[in-house]
């Protein structure tokens, strides 16, 4: 049976009068991929920074591998690998030297560091680039190298902050496959991402944060089933046409909401709306699709754009 490797109780982070994380609780099990989702400013990055000891805890308790982050931040940092949003690779060094120099920060003996670096370049399919400069790497290669660097100290926990942002689909799927293999080897992963498909593909469990609090927690497929159901109908028209239509669906017991000029109709139990109602919308811009984690995210966190 797996054990919790990260536990937060009433975890709070303040910056002056701003509360970035407000008294949240969560537990991450050994060997799982746990996700933090939320709009910008929700508090997920502040939470991640407290987990890996970059930002001090204001209030509450946070344990990593049974160590209090408040008291043992140095030991906590050494047990982790961190993949930041920015590549932060040294452009003056070759691919292999980026790994070897980074290994020194963890006091990895030079011979062992060389062996680990070779293994990681092979694992992340960068062997042929070992002597190249960073400027010769594609975006996907750079992200794979950052992941390799984060693994040079053989961490028990890997922090992934937007690991595939800006990558094309091929590069993104390549990194997903590597991360799945890492999880199979027993590495615990903590992920933030704005790609809902990425969260669905990788996360065993996740939380959705908004305005410094956790609003939902669970397995991706369970959140979809419980929060929005199996299917979604999207109907696009003027608000003048959609508002009475929304009222008709709600009168029939359906979960319907309008945003801008789109009506979202969530079907929870698989029972489609009555044909009489569907007939009213089929002449409009009408789409019928399976429900996704993105639907859950927008329903929980809201559809309004926040900067």
The reported pLDDT for the residue numbered 226 is 92
The reported pLDDT for the residue numbered 305 is 59
- Pairing assessment for the beta strands 18-29 and 4-15 based on DSSP bridges: antiparallel
Q: How far apart are CA 80 and CA 99, in angstroms?
A: 16
The reported pLDDT for the residue numbered 144 is 93
The stretches of the chain forming alpha helices (DSSP H) are: 44-51, 73-78, 95-104, 110-123, 139-150, 169-184, 196-202, 220-227, 239-251, 275-281, 293-301
The reported pLDDT for the residue numbered 40 is 86
The reported pLDDT for the residue numbered 58 is 97
Could you tell me the domains of the chain? Answer: 4-224 (3.40.50.300), 229-290 (3.30.70.120)
Buried b (16+ CB within 10 A) or exposed e, 142-178: bbbbbbbbbbbbebbbbbbbbbbeebeeebbebbbeb
| pLDDT < 50: residue spans in the chain | none
16 φ/ψ sector (left φ>0, alpha ψ -120 to 50, else beta): left
- 12 with 58: CB under 8 angstroms? yes
């Amino acid at each position: 049976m797996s054990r919790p490797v990260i536990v937060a109780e009433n975890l709070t982070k303040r910056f002056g009068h701003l509360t970035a994380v407000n008294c949240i609780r969560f537990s991450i099990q050994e060997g799982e991929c746990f996700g933090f989702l939320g709009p910008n400013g929700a508090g997920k990055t502040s939470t991640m920074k407290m987990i890996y000891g970059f930002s001090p805890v204001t209030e509450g308790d946070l344990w990593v591998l049974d160590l209090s982050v408040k008291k043992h931040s140095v030991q906590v940092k050494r047990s982790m690998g961190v993949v930041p949003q920015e590549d932060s690779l040294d452009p003056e060094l070759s691919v292999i030297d980026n790994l070897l120099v980074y290994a020194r920060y963890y006091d990895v003996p030079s011979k062992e560091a060389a062996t680990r670096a070779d293994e990681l370049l092979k694992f992340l399919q960068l062997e042929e680039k070992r002597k190249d400069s960073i400027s010769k790497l594609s975006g996907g290669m750079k992200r794979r190298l950052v992941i390799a660097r984060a693994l040079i100290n053989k961490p028990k926990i890997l922090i992934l902050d937007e690991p595939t942002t800006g990558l094309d689909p091929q590069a993104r799927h390549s990194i997903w496959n590597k991360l799945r293999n890492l999880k199979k080897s027993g590495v615990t992963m903590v992920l933030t991402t704005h790609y809902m498909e990425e969260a669905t593909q990788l996360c065993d469990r996740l939380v959705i944060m908004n305005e410094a609090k956790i609003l939902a927690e669970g397995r991706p497929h369970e959140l979809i089933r419980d929060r929005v159901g199996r299917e979604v109908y999207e109907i696009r028209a003027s608000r003048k046409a959609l508002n009475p239509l929304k009222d008709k669906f709600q009168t029939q017991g359906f979960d319907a909401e309008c945003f801008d000029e789109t009506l979202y109709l969530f079907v929870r139990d698989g029972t489609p709306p009555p044909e009489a109602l569907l007939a009213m919308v089929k002449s409009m811009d009408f789409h019928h699709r399976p429900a996704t984690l993105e639907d859950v995210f927008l329903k929980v966190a809201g559809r309004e754009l926040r900067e």
